[in-house]
Structure 1
């Protein structure tokens, strides 16, 4: 990377470079964090950089729809396209940035990243857009295509949601996906009370409220939790509110002596289990990758829960051969398409296909069928995913029950009785329900007879 980029303090330029790398396969959150760490940016510039990166990804299909008539199929260098998309995003989705500032900054960035010809091209395109305006996506005749472009979600996903939850709920879900995600934490009650953690965060200038969804959880705004003293001291960990619900449904009490977390990395749910275990009870945490097992161990150490956790590298499908004893509780937080996480990882929407979803459903079933072989009589197994499609959720549950007659589905319960009056036993959290990640939780029990 040229020094003029490496040493840049310009959040717009850094956003363009970051977006080009993400389009080339880098993860948005990791790439963005790396850029923030390696550049000395003011808080306001960090905020603008984050907004530009996530906003441009979230609205990519709409921004490309607007841009297409002006570039007419020309093959653009990746950074040129990202520069034009960020300009459109600022112009039409942010209301506090003057048009002249967007033009001037974009042209200057083109000079830095390219040459005079590139700058002239960017100038010409921006002025042409200014003269004629962008296309109105509301005039797209096909209703599915209109939703796809308006909310920047692939057609296959819109169609699938329409089939499964209907038109009104689909629109509500899609609208919620481009909202900023909340920042929530789970208090480590082995080190601090919820009140103590709340006060410590407020003392550092953060705004805090109690979660309406999960036990021992706080929703935090106005600062960076992961660099706060209570986080560094192991008083709390960052975790989405809905992601805490699978562990709540395990029903951990003093009768529980052994727990298996079958797909555990990076350890959020593992440490949640560990903090509620009584006496000498332990949780065995598995992940197929060694480097992810290290993440689990690092998290348990920071939270002071290492003595409650045994982390090991293992393919969860090998559970029956790897253990010669049964577990009172098993959590299968299965690998999934992650379509409930689109607020936090917006690029997922463009990377996944229905074929991916079906492949993952097969993997989830295989893990469940392996894990259940080590579930004790009367024991409980919780299956969860961070996705919102029935193929990975209801369909997997139905097949699992059909293949395991000794297992019964019981109602998923949570500490705050989330959707307690629902008819179905499984719990479905959509992103628009509580402004959390989308999640699915099913709870099973091995019959005693």
Structure 2
């Protein structure tokens, strides 16, 4: 960190400080929220700060590729390197800011956080980049490295996706990750109707259209939907469309009286299950951490479905010995690598390794087996993840079926018949298919 940690209304300065802390292990969203709370920023500057932080994280490998030839062998404070990366991000990715303004502001921040010498160093680097031009990643001969640098995704992940999906689909996925996600919300049908929520949002000036994938989804633009009256009244919640589909795949109808949500926090899918339940039916929602169980309860209360939700702290692997009840439906939305969320959570790509993926696959199988033991005969169990690697998806499903002949995999079906003509039983949504999060959804039935 720079020695001069100070309150500031300069978004470029705060971006460099924030990114240095994130690179040192802080969570980007928490760090950014803290910085915004602690410093006097106009709304437009909050927007620029957010864009600089997430944009620099998202494009980090490409930005470093551009910067490296100009700083080889030069020792830099972490904040100084981050400052130069933010300058590159603004210069190459934010068309609305003139180059001279970016250079001048960056030099002034270097002087403020460092000293006159830091300002001179930054001046020399920026002018050298401008004079000589930036290296072109298209000229990288190794295909995996070229894709890795161009789309800022680690080489191991590019190589694994190419192996599983082929080069063309992999590049299509990578290309889609740098498009901003649309804002989707789920209507709370326990309290209202889709038409009423649309009308309410439009009255407040939002633009609203139906989501193409999920029955209760709305795509909202023209403002942050969490500030809307409908959100405050619990008439909707923010949720990616693809994340709404696992609950649809449970086929909850009036005959369903009991549902287990085995890895439930923060409660988005729990409240969706609850809104589909008939009177007297209940969902038991588990999480291993007490503070996350409180989150589930808070979400259920906000959505007006608390009377249908039993939230409890329990490691889902202990379900066989701790829960006596059997359930009509079970959802295992398993802890996963989150590699389907790269558009929304850009730093995930740098945090995960293949060893993490393999470890998670074992955990997922353990949770799936434990939860499945409490499914009633003829009941349905849905296994879902927000990742796109086979090890955590088809691999876990195959391992489960090999050990449990009393279960059969059936075709995953959703209310709007998403990809109904596909050949696979599981539903696989990749980030480039519909510009949503990547998701995997497999459905099982327990035999008589």
Q: What range is the shorter-chain TM-score in?
A: over 0.9
How many aligned positions are there?
448
The equivalent of 1:332 in structure 2 is: 332
For the pair 1:445 / 2:445, whether they are aligned, the reply is yes
TM-superposed CA distance for 1:43, in Å, is 2.9
TM-superposed CA distance for 1:117, in Å, is 1.7
Q: Deviations over 1:363-413 (max 9, x none)?
A: 000001101110111111100000000010000000000010000000000
TM-superposed CA distance for 1:8, in Å, is 1.7
Aligned equivalents of 2:198, 2:4: Cα separation in 1: 42
Aligned equivalents of 1:182, 1:436: Cα separation in 2: 8
The equivalent of 1:42 in structure 2 is: 42
TM-superposed CA distance for 1:3, in Å, is 12
For the pair 1:18 / 2:12, whether they are aligned, the reply is no
The equivalent of 1:317 in structure 2 is: 317
TM-superposed CA distance for 1:447, in Å, is 0.4
Aligned equivalents of 2:22, 2:154: Cα separation in 1: 18
Q: Find runs of 4+ consecutive structure 1 residues off by over 6 angstroms.
A: 1-4
Q: Deviations over 1:48-80 (max 9, x none)?
A: 222111111111000000100111033321110
TM-superposed CA distance for 1:195, in Å, is 1.3
Query: Is the 8 Å Cα contact of residues 329 and 380 (structure 2) preserved in structure 1?
Result: yes
Q: 1:397-412, aligned counterparts within 5 Å?
A: 397-412=397-412
Aligned equivalents of 1:222, 1:20: Cα separation in 2: 32
Provide TM-score, normalisation by structure 2. Answer: 0.98
Are the structure 2 counterparts of residues 3 and 253 from structure 1 closer, same or farther at C-alpha, using a change threshold of 3 Å?
A: farther
Query: Is the 8 Å Cα contact of residues 265 and 295 (structure 1) preserved in structure 2?
Result: yes
TM-superposed CA distance for 1:27, in Å, is 1.8
Aligned equivalents of 1:198, 1:36: Cα separation in 2: 31
Q: State the Cα RMSD in Å.
A: 1.4
For the pair 1:276 / 2:239, whether they are aligned, the reply is no
Q: Deviations over 1:402-448 (max 9, x none)?
A: 01000000000001111110001000000000010000000001001
SS of alignment partner, residue 25 of structure 1: coil
For the pair 1:371 / 2:371, whether they are aligned, the reply is yes
TM-superposed CA distance for 1:36, in Å, is 2.9
The equivalent of 1:217 in structure 2 is: 217
Q: 1:194-209, aligned counterparts within 5 Å?
A: 194-209=194-209
For the pair 1:289 / 2:257, whether they are aligned, the reply is no
Provide TM-score, normalisation by structure 1. Answer: 0.97
The equivalent of 2:7 in structure 1 is: 7
Aligned equivalents of 2:161, 2:11: Cα separation in 1: 36
Q: Deviations over 1:256-290 (max 9, x none)?
A: 00000000000000000000000100000000011
Aligned equivalents of 2:14, 2:151: Cα separation in 1: 25
SS of alignment partner, residue 388 of structure 1: coil
Query: Is the 8 Å Cα contact of residues 3 and 113 (structure 2) preserved in structure 1?
Result: no
Aligned equivalents of 1:3, 1:63: Cα separation in 2: 25
Are the structure 2 counterparts of residues 89 and 2 from structure 1 closer, same or farther at C-alpha, using a change threshold of 3 Å?
A: closer
What residue ranges of structure 1 are gaps of 5+ in the alignment?
none
Aligned equivalents of 1:3, 1:10: Cα separation in 2: 17
Query: Is the 8 Å Cα contact of residues 412 and 425 (structure 2) preserved in structure 1?
Result: yes
Aligned equivalents of 2:116, 2:175: Cα separation in 1: 40
Query: Is the 8 Å Cα contact of residues 5 and 14 (structure 1) preserved in structure 2?
Result: no
SS of alignment partner, residue 373 of structure 2: helix
SS of alignment partner, residue 117 of structure 2: helix
Q: 1:360-439, aligned counterparts within 5 Å?
A: 360-439=360-439
SS of alignment partner, residue 414 of structure 1: coil
Query: Is the 8 Å Cα contact of residues 254 and 278 (structure 1) preserved in structure 2?
Result: yes
What residue ranges of structure 2 are gaps of 5+ in the alignment?
none
The equivalent of 1:134 in structure 2 is: 134
Aligned equivalents of 2:12, 2:335: Cα separation in 1: 35
Are the structure 2 counterparts of residues 2 and 362 from structure 1 closer, same or farther at C-alpha, using a change threshold of 3 Å?
A: closer
TM-superposed CA distance for 1:316, in Å, is 0.4
SS of alignment partner, residue 53 of structure 1: helix
TM-superposed CA distance for 1:40, in Å, is 4.0
The equivalent of 1:169 in structure 2 is: 169
Q: Deviations over 1:182-232 (max 9, x none)?
A: 111001112221111112222222211110011111111121111221111
Query: Is the 8 Å Cα contact of residues 262 and 371 (structure 1) preserved in structure 2?
Result: yes
The equivalent of 2:346 in structure 1 is: 346
Q: Deviations over 1:154-198 (max 9, x none)?
A: 111111111111111111100011111111100111222111111
